[in-house]
Structure 1
Amino acid sequence: MNTDMEKRVLRRISWRIVPFIMLLYFIAYIDRVNIGFASLTMNKDLGFTSSVFGFGAGIFFFGYFLFEVPSNLILEKVGARLWITRVMITWGLISGAMAFVQGSTSFYVLRFLLGAAEAGFFPGIILYLSYWFPARHRAGVTALFMAAAPISTALGSPISAALLELHGVMGLAGWQWMFIIEALPALILGVVVFFYMTDRPEKATWMPEDERAWLINAMNEEAASKSGHAKHSIWRGLADPRVLALALIYFGTSAGLYTLGIWAPQIIKQLGVSSMTVGWLNMIPPTASVIAMVLWARHSDRTSERTWHVVGACLVASAGLVFAGNADGVFTVILALTLVNIGISAAKPPLWSMPTMFLSGSAAAAGIATINSIGNLGGFAGPAMIGWIKDLTGSFMGGLYFVAALLAISAVTTLLLARSQRKSAAASAAAAQAASN
């Protein structure tokens, strides 16, 4: 029931938590994909082929994959405040060190270490939101948090392009200055997290006592409504078939997201425009996607429907990639990339609302991290395949078609998961009715 107390609590915690975590993700995403803008000059300076660049950009996700689950389990034990502080400071240091890459080996090593350092941040925040926001409000809040990714692309693109113009200052290339300067906010905010973030509602001294009591009670009731063994079993979170299905769905969306983040600058650059123009043009698609993401997630919350919100968005992104593979002018390329951005961004909030509907506690920590770690391997598969196919054929078309197919698979898997869920629910209801007779 949407009581006055619930409205007051949601308003207070939303203003306290959401803008701050958006800022953190804004910085995280810039440090993760600024390699795309660096490539406009770095690849030539270091002699990187498209295959070398695609593999190095994507190997980030192997470090992410290996350390994601343990990182999220540690966060669940020691608290978000301490662990997010550690994550941000270490990734800031490694991101800055990217300025001193000398060749392919050091490029691969630092990208891998960056993924290992950042592992746990995104799923940690998703888990953190499940401590504070009831499930029926979570897609909307998640959308606001995740809007930081397209916003960071929109605002970060011209900033990154402008930093490339520092070429030659103090003997450093523009891409080196870009890595150094864009790493500083992560280091500063890592310290701020330690003093600002509150681990759980029980520790929220900034809330009035009656509001804090209401929130604690609401979240405890929600946790109690989930199956008892899901509260404590790490293995349930790791082995649940629904978790593995969601990881496969997320794989396609991640391939699409990081294809955009890493390759969009080069796709636009091949149209013959300057690096600064690339920066401005690359703002347009993510700006449109922010609006679409928030509206789509609110509709998902209002209708309490997740499946078709994920399916429809994945199909829009898939169609956009096919369109991008055939586009040959500035207007058509930007329109195609806008469709891809909208589809991928809109799919993620309803998708991330699914695991915490059936998992909590350690199972939720492990399950969310499993989805994110396996799913984010799509961030390797998409960019690496595009680089390999680009070297093989001289065109982005084949690689874009490959990622479009992955997104179509995500849509089909979502439908199959929903069908399985309906059958399971019907069987459980029948068994309960038989037991009561």
Structure 2
Amino acid sequence: MSTHTLAQPELAAVVRKVTFRLIPILLLMYILAFLDRANLGFAKVAWQADTGISDAAYALGAGIFFLGYALFEVPSNLIMRRVGAKIWLARIMVSWGIVSALMMFATNEWIFYTLRVLLGITEAGFFPGVILFLTYWVPLTFRARVNGLFYFGAPLAFIFGGPLSGMLLDLDDKVSIHGWQLMFLVTGILTVIVGIVAFFYLDNGPKDAKWLSERERTTLLAALDAEDTAKENHSPRGVLRTLGNPIVLYFAAIYLTIQMSVYGVTFYLPTQISEIVGKPVGLEVGLLTAVPWTFALIVTFVLSRLADSTGQRRLIATCALAAAGVGIVLSAVIGEPILALAALSVGAAGFISVQPVFWTLPTSFLVGAAAASGIALINSLGSLGGFLAPVLKNWADATFGDNAGLIVLAAIAFIGAALIALSRLVSPAVRETDGVGLDTTLARQR
């Protein structure tokens, strides 16, 4: 892929303008998406105490979200490509915000299961929709760092959302409803409001962006068109061929391992920190959960920029996911609270920072309808990890004893790291982009 056009100083300035315009709203949307998922972890103890729902039912409900989510991912992305991101991303947010607020009525297992399935269906397509949306605006040379800024949503959801969720839980005896009910209601309403704002704020693509000058629009579209033309040599043709493409399925397998490491820890992180420090889940534990995510935010910022500047996206993603596995193992075996928290920080940083870099690999060869369906399929199959991880962790802990589940999930992270390292052998596009970074292209220009 020619990179001469992709690193012009003029193009870099346009990408910065695009980043400042789009990332704040997309980041806020992702914070709410991740906070919605994390809330289940914060609510776990108090919610189970009030409703009598078992650990097994909790694990099933936590994971069943991803069945509806996975089933509707590909159709959602194809619809977004047809109707535009503006209306579709807003629709996704408003509908999932309503269902999220209704979680306050999850007082028995069947209501819980039903709402979790509905939440997965309504939220389906948000994340792959944003990844696809960013390919409409950001050339590959800049994509890891822009993806990385979007991925700040997960750490920020815990840094600010953790204390917020803990504070709402602490209001349990001060309001007329339970603290966990208030938590679901507040975050659901916030999601609906942001969805409405997104409808009026977003543009479907550079051609619709009145905030870009004609010269800026031309510069950006020329770079993106050149990249799409180069991708035609590697991209599968059509939706059906993409869904059965071995390379796409290979990347889906990688993403499955990433998501299993992410959600196997995320759903249980507040409880785990509570056990480490010997305090109930509340504001204090909420503040402590911010520590791993603050570290993850810093590492994600550094590694995503390093991936773009050096072009070593595959190597950096491999090391990040391997580090996540190491952190998860250490958090399971270390008894000292401070060291255990440090290990959790390494684990969180690894599995958050790997993701924005990982997404540059499949998007380096998918274009058009193949990009819409391929990105959605990878996310869809990968997100099944969110269903498998809690169930697998629960089974391993019950069968082999405490912390066995975390060790199993760490092993899966190591398998994912190995698959990323080997991706160069299965994807010509990854081979061609190895070592192609912003610094390299600027040096070529000079």
Query: What's the TM-score once normalised by structure 1's chain length?
Result: 0.93
Q: Match for residue 253 of structure 2?
A: 248
Q: What is the CA–CA distance in structure 1 between the aligned matches of 2:279 and 2:384, rounded to whole Å?
A: 32
Which whole-Å deviations, capped at 9, do the CAs of 1:318-373 have from their partners, x for residues lacking one?
11111111122321221111011011012111110011111111100100001101
Contact 2:424 2:431 in 1 (8 A): no
**Cα offset for 1:244?**
0.9
Residue number among 406, 414, 417 corresponding to 1:408 in the alignment: 414
Unaligned runs of 5+ in 1: 427-437
Contact 1:33 1:258 in 2 (8 A): no
Q: What is the CA–CA distance in structure 2 between the aligned matches of 1:356 and 1:334, rounded to whole Å?
A: 34
Which whole-Å deviations, capped at 9, do the CAs of 1:83-122 have from their partners, x for residues lacking one?
0011000100000000001211111111111111111000
Aligned identity (percent) is: 37
Contact 1:51 1:391 in 2 (8 A): no
Q: Match for residue 55 of structure 1?
A: 60
Please show how residues 220-235 of structure 1 align to structure 2 within 5 Å: 220-227=225-232, 230=235, 233-235=238-240
**Cα offset for 1:425?**
6.9
Please show how residues 210-359 of structure 1 align to structure 2 within 5 Å: 210-227=215-232, 230=235, 233-271=238-276, 272-275=278-281, 276-359=283-366
Contact 1:52 1:387 in 2 (8 A): no
Q: What is the CA–CA distance in structure 2 between the aligned matches of 1:7 and 1:50, rounded to whole Å?
A: 50
1:424–1:394 CA distance, 2 compared to 1 (3 A): closer
Q: What is the CA–CA distance in structure 2 between the aligned matches of 1:242 and 1:423, rounded to whole Å?
A: 10
Alignment pair present for 1:113 and 2:121:
no
1:70–1:45 CA distance, 2 compared to 1 (3 A): same
Q: What is the CA–CA distance in structure 2 between the aligned matches of 1:46 and 1:333, rounded to whole Å?
A: 31
Q: CA RMSD in A?
A: 1.8
Which whole-Å deviations, capped at 9, do the CAs of 1:375-431 have from their partners, x for residues lacking one?
011111112222334445662x111011111111111212232223369979xxxxx
Contact 2:326 2:410 in 1 (8 A): yes
Q: Match for residue 382 of structure 1?
A: 389
1:228–1:332 CA distance, 2 compared to 1 (3 A): closer
Q: What is the CA–CA distance in structure 1 between the aligned matches of 2:268 and 2:21, rounded to whole Å?
A: 35
Q: Match for residue 195 of structure 2?
A: 190
Alignment pair present for 1:130 and 2:135:
yes
The aligned amino acid for 2:256 is F
1:342–1:163 CA distance, 2 compared to 1 (3 A): same
Q: How many matched pairs?
A: 425
1:409–1:25 CA distance, 2 compared to 1 (3 A): same
Query: What's the TM-score once normalised by structure 2's chain length?
Result: 0.92
Alignment pair present for 1:80 and 2:72:
no
Contact 2:156 2:293 in 1 (8 A): yes
Q: Secondary structure of the equivalent of 1:59? A: helix
Q: Secondary structure of the equivalent of 1:353? A: coil
Q: Secondary structure of the equivalent of 1:206? A: coil
Deviates more, 1:383-392 or 1:357-366: 383-392
**Cα offset for 1:231?**
7.5
Residue number among 31, 37, 45 corresponding to 2:42 in the alignment: 37
1:259–1:424 CA distance, 2 compared to 1 (3 A): closer
Q: Match for residue 25 of structure 2?
A: 20
